[in-house]
Amino acid sequence: MKPTLTSTQRAALVLFIIALVIYTFPLVYNALVTPFFNPVPSQDVVSASLAPVSLLTRGNFYLDQYRRFVANNYSEPNFVAEVNGHMVARTTVVSGVLALPFMGAGLGTGWLARTANVFDIAKLAAAVLTALAVLAFFFAARELTDTATSILVAVAFAFGSSVWATASQGLWQHTPSVLFQSIALWFLARGLRRGARAVIPAGLFLSLATIARPPVAVTAFVLTLFVLRHFRAALIPFGLAALPPLALALIYNAAVNGSPFVFGYQDQVSFGFPQWEAFQGLLFSPSRGLFVFSPFLLLAPIGLWFGWLRERQHLYAYLAIAFIAYLTIMAAWGSLGGWAYGSRMLTDTLPVMCLLIIPAVERIRGRGRAALWVVVLFAAFAQMLGLWDYGVRFHAAGNSVWSIENNEPWFYLKLYIEMAQAFFAS
């Protein structure tokens, strides 16, 4: 007798396939139709894209073979440093390690004949990793609510946020971060039904998320407090599960960065006192605000109200605290994302924030649920507008991220309309 999939498993499979198809569309379009979508221009993705090729071809993480490529393409390459006579990555390379099978296939098939092709394979790897994050997030949501609500929230997570426009399109630090956080949240949510032992693997994945994106340490800390308070019997094995990634990171740092405690580009990051303007920008800037690009997340305070204050489901309170803690760290950094598209700097908060809206979404029925779907689709449309060049033309034109009348989505929508008019007029 053939095993049959449950309704939840079927929904998860369909979500994964849809996410993978949509995430890889720019790459497939470029290959089969005409080059149109640009590779992610940010320096933040370069070292993680190149490092796995070095590991496969030379057996180390050094980027020495790319000295000429870096010199010819980047006037001020802040993603690399010289350590003990070698060029090394400043940024974490966790996403690059996860991309090893893809880079290996590229080498085996000859796809990596040119260095530039590395970034196409990196885009493919990022798409697959992010589609897996959507899968894990859906299962996390399903532990907390019904299938229909889980699907809506997972679609919002997958397409109505920078999970699509950022994490799925290149090997950012955000890419493995959202994947590992989503898996960790799945185990934590399972613990609410299955008991303390179920949360133990979350320690491993929160540790991996932190190694991938160091500021996620504040999220991991808050969720560890949740385990301490509500699953105390699992705290020691939970903590022990977190040690292997940390040990590997220290070994990597010692071997590549020259010291176990040099994690990369921290010497370039300056944290100060959190600024109110930074809070405003991260949440409400017309071209950077989380609530502008993903307005459905405005349901988060309502989700907190129903989830914690009324139903005493304490996980939601910790999710809210984790978001506030991460937001505060980013406000202390003061960066709104540089030359990027949308709310990139808060991409790592999306797993906790999208779970946080569940108690509010559960209570929206009928026409209200239909209206919420419209909001999610609107957010997805806004994310789609950034896939062409990820904000390069917007910033090159000297636009301000505070401009209301010429915000990023509107800038690209006008540009697309002009391109369409020129195409049909020719």
Q: Which pLDDT tens digit goes with each residue over 393-403?
A: 999 999 999 99
**pLDDT, averaged across the chain:** 94
Query: Using an 8 Å Cβ cutoff, are 66 and 115 in contact?
Result: yes
Give the pLDDT confidence score for residue 133 in this predicted structure.
Answer: 98
Query: Using an 8 Å Cβ cutoff, are 131 and 20 in contact?
Result: yes
Token pair 């997030």 in the structure block, residue? 137
Phi-psi region of 39 (alpha: psi -120 to 50; beta: other; left: phi over 0): beta
Give the pLDDT confidence score for residue 24 in this predicted structure.
Answer: 98
Give the pLDDT confidence score for residue 242 in this predicted structure.
Answer: 98
Return the structure tokens found at 299: 């349901």
Q: Which of 402, 408, 372, 417 is nearest to 387 (CA)?
A: 408
Give the pLDDT confidence score for residue 76 in this predicted structure.
Answer: 87
Give the pLDDT confidence score for residue 309 in this predicted structure.
Answer: 79
Please, which pLDDT band fits residue 22 given cuts at 50, 70 and 90? very high
Q: Is the pLDDT of residue 267 over 70?
A: no
Provide the 10 A C-beta neighbour count for residue 250.
15
Give the pLDDT confidence score for residue 339 in this predicted structure.
Answer: 82
Give the pLDDT confidence score for residue 1 in this predicted structure.
Answer: 56
- Strand, helix or coil at 9? helix
Q: Mean pLDDT across the stretch 101-122?
A: 91
- Strand, helix or coil at 346? helix
Task: Fill in the amino acid letter for 278.
Answer: A
For 187, the enclosing helix (H) or strand (E) is helix 174-194
Choose the weakest-confidence range: 111-115, 250-254, 276-280: 111-115
N-terminal to C-terminal alpha carbon distance within the chain: 59
Task: Fill in the amino acid letter for 318.
Answer: Y
For the chain, the maximum distance between any two Cα atoms, rounded to a whole number of angstroms, is: 70
- In this structure, what DSSP letter does residue 146 have? -
pLDDT tens string 218-237: 999 999 999 999 999 999 99
pTM flag (> 0.85): yes
CA angle 362, 367, 371 (to 5 degrees): 80
Return the structure tokens found at 185: 């949240």
Q: Is the pLDDT of residue 311 over 80?
A: no
Query: Using an 8 Å Cβ cutoff, are 39 and 170 in contact?
Result: yes
Give the pLDDT confidence score for residue 270 in this predicted structure.
Answer: 63
Query: Using an 8 Å Cβ cutoff, are 130 and 157 in contact?
Result: no
Q: Is the pLDDT of residue 183 over 90?
A: yes
Q: Is the pLDDT of residue 268 over 90?
A: no
Q: Mean pLDDT across the stretch 248-261?
A: 91
Return the structure tokens found at 20: 């993978």
Give the pLDDT confidence score for residue 137 in this predicted structure.
Answer: 98
Q: Is the pLDDT of residue 36 over 80?
A: yes
